[in-house]
Amino acid sequence: MDFQQVFGKPPETQASAPGRVNLLGEHTDYNDGFVLPTAIPQGTTVQLGFSSDSQHHFYSENLNEQVSILDINHTPSGFASYIFGCIEVLQKAGYTIPPLCVYVKSSVPMGSGLSSSAALEVATLRALRQLLNLPINDLEIAQFAQQAEIQYAGVQCGIMDQMASSLADTEHILFLDTRTLERRVMPLPEKAEILVIDSGVPRTLASSGYNQRRAECEEAARSLGVKALRDITDVNVIKALAEPLQRRARHVVTENNRVLEVLQGVTSERFGELMNASHVSLRDDYEVSVPALDTLVEIIQKTEGVFGARLTGAGFGGASVALVRSGQSKGIATHVLEQYNQAGYNGQILVPSLGLSDAA
């Protein structure tokens, strides 16, 4: 069903936004540190029209689900909360949003760590900006999107996903200082492209493990007398910490330094080495990998045409990301998955998408 079939008239406008993958800078955001995401080819498109009654109506093609907002004082649940949140944060900022018909379609896999949620928010806000001529810039779109996700979808997220979706594209990576929001858009390393393969292992322990790591980092920062681990650049300083805090802090400090090295300008080969080093650090110091991800990353790293690979996202399962030679990602993925799945796993390629079209 398209917009016309759902709402009985064509849309007034539409806008799109991409999902994202983080290339380097993992578990650094809640330490006030640095991240380096890029946009993926898959995206979300939001079409808007004016509602003919006094209610908002939201439809998701992916879920084949329609939600009408009967009471604007009551936040809806599920996918509608993200769209409702975008509308509400704009209203709170002083913009008047009329009752709308909203149609969503997406090629970003949902819940796979490629940030379909940020793509949905940023596409919604872009479409609203266009429809109503709102004087908001791309940075503000990212900030409104984050507020919508925290306040209305109830997810305590950082701002990386929304910044990446709003400011990066598939040709560029976004360097972001999560403390100051200083940022720089840089080209992808030369003659390289991105490959994302899901391990097929669900992130079951992810939330408890994540909270524990956050607490450990806070404790480490407190012991060292700094506001956040971002304030340490010399690994020698953390030797004063007891284990496991020392290892946790070492990951954060070395990971931040890896991102800062990329900012100086590096070759694809060096970028790959930094990704490999990030994986070792996440596995041994931060202890957020699992055997499946280690196996997958090792197979990728040994494959011809690969610059480097590591787990991406919070870990405990989920996906891997690799930097590979341009034009070779699909061939590499086929080779990798053959070996990986032979070991009894159920891996699958997420980026590039194997579908006919990437744009939603």
Minimum distance from residue 95 beta carbon to ligand ADP (Å): 23
Selected catalytic residue, list 161, 177, 198, 285: 161
What is the residue-wise DSSP string for 291-339?
HHHHHHHHHHHTSTTEEEEEEESS-SSSEEEEEEETT-HHHHHHHHHHH
166 binds Mg ion (CB under 5 A): no
161 labelled catalytic: yes
Nearest residue to ligand ADP, scored by beta-carbon proximity: 79
- Nearest of 108, 9, 95, 22 to residue 315 by alpha carbon: 22
Which span (117-125, 174-182, 230-238, 349-357) binds Mg ion, by CB under 5 A?
A: 117-125
* Helices and strands, counts by H and E, the chain: 10, 12
Minimum distance from residue 319 beta carbon to ligand ADP (Å): 10
Minimum distance from residue 110 beta carbon to ligand ADP (Å): 5
Inter-residue contact 196 to 350 (CB < 8 Å) = yes
Per CB under 6 A, the list member of 13, 62, 66, 223 interacting with ligand ADP is: 62
Look at residue 106 and give the partner it binds from ligand ADP, Mg ion, none, a contact being a CB closer than 5 to 8 Å depending on partner kind. Answer: ligand ADP
Q: How far apart are CA 254 and CA 236, in angstroms?
A: 11
Inter-residue contact 121 to 84 (CB < 8 Å) = no
Minimum distance from residue 145 beta carbon to Mg ion (Å): 11
78 binds ligand ADP (CB under 6 A): yes
Look at residue 120 and give the partner it binds from Mg ion, ligand ADP, none, a contact being a CB closer than 5 to 8 Å depending on partner kind. Answer: ligand ADP
The DSSP output letter for 283 is I
Per CB under 6 A, the list member of 14, 44, 166, 303 interacting with ligand ADP is: 44
What is the residue-wise DSSP string for 39-71?
EEEEEEEEEEEE-SSSSEEEEETTTTEEEEES-
Residue number with CB closer to ligand ADP (114 or 241) = 114
Per CB under 6 A, the list member of 41, 43, 85, 113 interacting with ligand ADP is: 113
Inter-residue contact 176 to 162 (CB < 8 Å) = no
Minimum distance from residue 152 beta carbon to ligand ADP (Å): 11
16 binds ligand ADP (CB under 6 A): no
Sequence-ordered list of residues with C-beta below 8 angstroms from that of 315, at least 6 positions apart, any chain? 26, 27, 203, 206, 209, 282, 286, 288, 289, 290, 293
116 binds ligand ADP (CB under 6 A): yes
Which span (68-76, 106-114, 173-181, 228-236) binds ligand ADP, by CB under 6 A?
A: 106-114
Inter-residue contact 219 to 201 (CB < 8 Å) = no
Cis peptide before 76 (omega within 30 of 0): no
Minimum distance from residue 258 beta carbon to ligand ADP (Å): 23
Determine the residue type at 5: Q
Interface characters, 65-104, with Mg ion (x: CB under 5 A): ----------------------------------------
Inter-residue contact 14 to 45 (CB < 8 Å) = yes
* φ, ψ of residue 286 in degrees (nearest 5): -90, -20
Residue number with CB closer to Mg ion (117 or 199) = 117
117 binds Mg ion (CB under 5 A): yes
Determine the residue type at 260: L
Residue number with CB closer to ligand ADP (196 or 299) = 196
Binding footprint of ligand ADP on the chain (CB under 6 A):
44, 60, 62-63, 78-79, 82, 104, 106, 110-117, 120
| Residues with a known catalytic role | 161
